[in-house]
Structure 1
Amino acid sequence: MPTALPRPSGEGHEEPMNWKPILSLSAFLVVPCLAGAQAIPPAPAPSPSPAAATPTFPSQIELVTVDLVVTDKKGAPIPDLTAADFALSEDGDPQAIASFEAVQLPAAPSATPRPRPVISTNTAPEVHTGRTFMIVFDDIHLAPPQAHRAKGAVAEFLKSGVREGDRVSLVSTSGSAWWSARMEAGREELMTLLKRLDGRYIPDMSPDRMSDYEAMRIHVYHDPQVEDRVSRRFEQYGASTRQGTTDSSNSSSSGSGLGTGGDPMVEGKASEVYFQAVTRNRITLQILERVLTSLAATKGRKSLILVSEGFIYDPNLDDFKRAVQASRRSNVAIYFLDTRGLTGMPDYFTAQFGPPIDTQDIGAAFTENLEASEGSESLAADTGGFTVKNTNDLGKGIQRIADESRVYYLIGYNSTHTQRDGRFRKIEVKMPGRKGLQLRYRKGYFAPLEGGKSPLDRRAAGPGDPDIQAALDAPYDEGDVPMRMTAYVFDETILGKASVLVATDVDLSSFSFQEKENRFLDTLEFLLVVAHRETGEYFRYDQKVEMKLQAATRERLVKSWFPVVRDFELAPGGYQAKIVVRDKNSGRIGTVVHEFEVPDVSQFRVSTPVLSDTLQPTPEGQKSAPRPSLLARRTFASGTMLYAEFDVYGAAKDKASGMPKVTAGYVIRRLDGEVQTIANPSRIQPTSLGKLSRLVGARLVGAEPGEYEFVLTVRDEISGKTLELKEPFTLTAAVAGN
Structure 2
Amino acid sequence: MIRSIVLILSLAIVFAQTPPETVIRINVNLVQLDATVTDSQGRPVSDLKAEDFQILQDNKPQVITNFSYINLRPASSDSARTRVAATKGSKVGTPPPPPAKLSMDKVVRTIALVVDDLGLSFESTVYVRNALKKFVDQEMQPGDLVAILRTGAGIGALQSFTADKRQLYAAIDRVKYNAIGRVGVSSFEPLGSIGGGDGGAMAERASIMTAGTMAAINYVVGGLREVPGRKSVVLFSENLKLFNADGMDQRVMDEVRRLTDAANRASVVIYSIDPRGLQTYSLTAADDTRGMTARQIARVPMQRAAEVFNSQDGMVLLASQTGGLFLHDNNDISGQLHKVMQDAAGYYLIGYHPDASTFNAKTGQPKYHSIKVKLKRAGLTVRSRNGFIGNSDAAVMHVAGTPQEQIRHALTSPFNSGTIPVRLTSLFSYSPKMGSYLNTLLYIDAKGLKFEDEPDDWHKAVLDLVAVTFGDNGQAVDSTGQTYTLRMKGDAYQRALRDGFLYTMHHVVKKPGAYQMRVALRDDGSAQLGSASQFVEIPDVHNGHLTLSSLVIKEDDTSLTAKPQEDPAAEGAEGHSTENPEGSPAVRIFRRGKGLVYVCQVLNAETGPDKQANLELHTRLSMTTSWCTKASPCRWIPSRSRIRSTWWRLGRCGWDRDWSWVTTCCR
Common fold by TM > 0.5: yes
Q: 1:488 — aligned with what?
A: 427
Contact 1:523 1:544 in 2 (8 A): no
Q: 2:264 — aligned with what?
A: 328
Amino acid at match of 2:126: H
Amino acid at match of 1:611: K
Most deviating of 576-585 and 381-390: 576-585
Most deviating of 627-636 and 314-323: 627-636
Q: 2:223 — aligned with what?
A: 294
Distance 1:628-1:683 versus aligned 2 partners, 3 A rule: farther
Determine which of 327, 343, 348 is the counterpart of 1:404: 343
Contact 2:600 2:648 in 1 (8 A): yes
Contact 1:501 1:565 in 2 (8 A): yes
- Provide, for residues 2-32 of structure 1, a one-character-per-residue CA deviation record: whole Å limited to 9, x for no partner: xxxxxxxxxxxxxxxxxxxxxxxxxxx3212
SS in 1 for 2:6: coil
Distance 1:712-1:511 versus aligned 2 partners, 3 A rule: same
Instruction: Measure how far apart 1:435 and its partner are.
Output: 1.4
Amino acid at match of 1:429: V
Contact 2:233 2:268 in 1 (8 A): yes
Q: 1:611 — aligned with what?
A: 554
Q: 2:143 — aligned with what?
A: 165
TM-score (normalizing by structure 2): 0.68
Instruction: Measure how far apart 1:166 and its partner are.
Output: 2.5
Contact 1:100 1:409 in 2 (8 A): yes
Matching of residue 95 in structure 1 with residue 33 in structure 2? no
Contact 1:290 1:470 in 2 (8 A): no
Matching of residue 372 in structure 1 with residue 311 in structure 2? yes
Distance 1:80-1:273 versus aligned 2 partners, 3 A rule: same
Q: How does 1:601-640 map to 2 (within 5 A)?
A: 602-603=545-546, 605=548, 608-611=551-554, 631-638=585-592
Matching of residue 504 in structure 1 with residue 504 in structure 2? no
SS in 2 for 1:96: strand
Amino acid at match of 2:505: V
- Provide, for residues 134-179 of structure 1, a one-character-per-residue CA deviation record: whole Å limited to 9, x for no partner: 1111111112122223334444444444334333221111217868
- Provide, for residues 219-258 of structure 1, a one-character-per-residue CA deviation record: whole Å limited to 9, x for no partner: xxxxxxxxxxxxxxxxx98999xxxxxxxxxxxxxxxxxx
Instruction: Measure how far apart 1:292 and its partner are.
Output: 1.5
Distance 1:85-1:710 versus aligned 2 partners, 3 A rule: farther
Unaligned 5+ residue runs, structure 2? 243-248, 361-365, 560-569, 574-579
Distance 1:450-1:604 versus aligned 2 partners, 3 A rule: closer
SS in 2 for 1:634: coil
Contact 2:183 2:239 in 1 (8 A): no
SS in 2 for 1:108: helix
Determine which of 117, 128, 138 is the counterpart of 2:107: 128
Matching of residue 316 in structure 1 with residue 259 in structure 2? no
Matching of residue 68 in structure 1 with residue 39 in structure 2? no
SS in 1 for 2:112: strand
Q: 1:337 — aligned with what?
A: 273
For residues 108 and 580 of structure 1, the distance between their equivalents in structure 2, rounded to whole angstroms, comes to 40
SS in 2 for 1:485: strand
Amino acid at match of 2:275: T
Contact 1:335 1:387 in 2 (8 A): yes
SS in 1 for 2:251: coil
Instruction: Measure how far apart 1:288 and its partner are.
Output: 0.6
Q: 1:246 — aligned with what?
A: none
Instruction: Measure how far apart 1:425 and its partner are.
Output: 5.7
Contact 1:132 1:300 in 2 (8 A): no
Determine which of 485, 505, 510 is the counterpart of 1:565: 505
Instruction: Measure how far apart 1:283 and its partner are.
Output: 2.9
Contact 2:10 2:408 in 1 (8 A): no
For residues 394 and 547 of structure 2, the distance between their equivalents in structure 1, rounded to whole angstroms, comes to 63
Matching of residue 151 in structure 1 with residue 151 in structure 2? no
Contact 1:57 1:63 in 2 (8 A): no
For residues 681 and 363 of structure 1, the distance between their equivalents in structure 2, rounded to whole angstroms, comes to 67
Distance 1:558-1:177 versus aligned 2 partners, 3 A rule: farther
Distance 1:285-1:62 versus aligned 2 partners, 3 A rule: same
Distance 1:291-1:515 versus aligned 2 partners, 3 A rule: farther
Q: 2:6 — aligned with what?
A: 34
- Provide, for residues 558-593 of structure 1, a one-character-per-residue CA deviation record: whole Å limited to 9, x for no partner: 651563633334666654434455567877665543
Q: 1:545 — aligned with what?
A: 482
Contact 1:639 1:699 in 2 (8 A): no
Determine which of 69, 80, 96 is the counterpart of 1:108: 80
Distance 1:669-1:324 versus aligned 2 partners, 3 A rule: closer
Distance 1:57-1:411 versus aligned 2 partners, 3 A rule: closer
Matching of residue 441 in structure 1 with residue 384 in structure 2? yes
SS in 2 for 1:133: strand
Q: 1:722 — aligned with what?
A: none
Q: CA RMSD in A?
A: 5.9
Instruction: Measure how far apart 1:290 and its partner are.
Output: 2.0
Contact 1:508 1:562 in 2 (8 A): no
Q: Percent identity over the alignment?
A: 19
For residues 661 and 345 of structure 1, the distance between their equivalents in structure 2, rounded to whole angstroms, comes to 59
Distance 1:698-1:369 versus aligned 2 partners, 3 A rule: closer
Contact 2:210 2:240 in 1 (8 A): yes
TM-score (normalizing by structure 1): 0.62
Bigger radius of gyration among the two: 1
SS in 2 for 1:132: strand
Q: 2:118 — aligned with what?
A: 140
Contact 2:651 2:665 in 1 (8 A): no
For residues 203 and 352 of structure 1, the distance between their equivalents in structure 2, rounded to whole angstroms, comes to 26
Distance 1:31-1:572 versus aligned 2 partners, 3 A rule: closer
Instruction: Measure how far apart 1:190 and its partner are.
Output: 3.6
Contact 2:11 2:412 in 1 (8 A): no
Amino acid at match of 2:124: Q
Matching of residue 58 in structure 1 with residue 25 in structure 2? yes
Q: 1:723 — aligned with what?
A: none
For residues 620 and 308 of structure 2, the distance between their equivalents in structure 1, rounded to whole angstroms, comes to 67
Instruction: Measure how far apart 1:429 and its partner are.
Output: 3.4
Aligned residues: 593
Distance 1:35-1:368 versus aligned 2 partners, 3 A rule: closer
Distance 1:345-1:278 versus aligned 2 partners, 3 A rule: same
SS in 1 for 2:382: strand
Instruction: Measure how far apart 1:520 and its partner are.
Output: 5.5
For residues 194 and 416 of structure 2, the distance between their equivalents in structure 1, rounded to whole angstroms, comes to 56
Q: How does 1:223-242 map to 2 (within 5 A)?
A: none
Q: How does 1:662-673 map to 2 (within 5 A)?
A: none
Instruction: Measure how far apart 1:285 and its partner are.
Output: 1.9
Amino acid at match of 1:531: G
Unaligned 5+ residue runs, structure 1? 1-28, 37-46, 213-235, 241-264, 459-463, 620-625, 716-738
Contact 2:221 2:266 in 1 (8 A): yes
Q: How does 1:557-706 map to 2 (within 5 A)?
A: 560-561=500-501, 563=503, 565-569=505-509, 574-581=514-521, 590-598=530-538, 602-603=545-546, 605=548, 608-611=551-554, 631-638=585-592, 647-649=601-603, 693=647
For residues 203 and 694 of structure 1, the distance between their equivalents in structure 2, rounded to whole angstroms, comes to 49
Instruction: Measure how far apart 1:308 and its partner are.
Output: 0.9
Amino acid at match of 2:78: P
Instruction: Measure how far apart 1:631 and its partner are.
Output: 4.4
Distance 1:632-1:487 versus aligned 2 partners, 3 A rule: same
Instruction: Measure how far apart 1:333 and its partner are.
Output: 0.9
For residues 478 and 464 of structure 2, the distance between their equivalents in structure 1, rounded to whole angstroms, comes to 14
Amino acid at match of 2:471: A
Contact 2:606 2:642 in 1 (8 A): no
Matching of residue 526 in structure 1 with residue 480 in structure 2? no
Distance 1:108-1:465 versus aligned 2 partners, 3 A rule: farther
Q: 1:6 — aligned with what?
A: none
